[in-house]
Amino acid sequence: MSYAATRRAREIAIRLALGAGRVDTVRLLLGQGVRLVVAGLIIGGLAAAGLTRLLEGILYQVTATDPLTFAAVAAILAGVATAACFEPARKAMSIDPMEALRHE
């Protein structure tokens, strides 16, 4: 996400120079990150559900298809990934639009 925000610095500067709100721009960058998080959670959930047979033998006092564990892990991963997406978006908002436009 940091790389994507850096690559889009000129676009972000143009948006800000044309009057886009900082909240709207952060929402745009976070939306991109959250879409990736959701796609990863879906793919990871399907892969985890498919691998439950292999994990059944090494689990202790938890069934391989325990929905609470699946939900807790997904929630923790979603929270951490969203927080990781927020920092580059916040950093991109500190860019001065005129400075970014002059840079290139």
Phi, psi dihedral angles at 65 (to 5 degrees): -110, 35
Tens of pLDDT along 39-86? 999 999 899 888 887 877 777 777 777 788 889 999 999 999 888 888
Q: Exposed e or buried b for every residue in 50-77, given b needs 16+ CB within 10 A?
A: eeeeeeeeeeeeeebeeeeeeeeebeee
Tens of pLDDT along 7-38? 887 888 888 888 888 888 888 888 888 899 99
43: its two tokens: 């793919």
Q: Which residue has the higher pLDDT, 99 or 82?
A: 82
Q: CA dist 57 to 44, 45, 46, 50, Å? A: 20, 19, 19, 15
Q: What is the pTM of this model?
A: 0.72
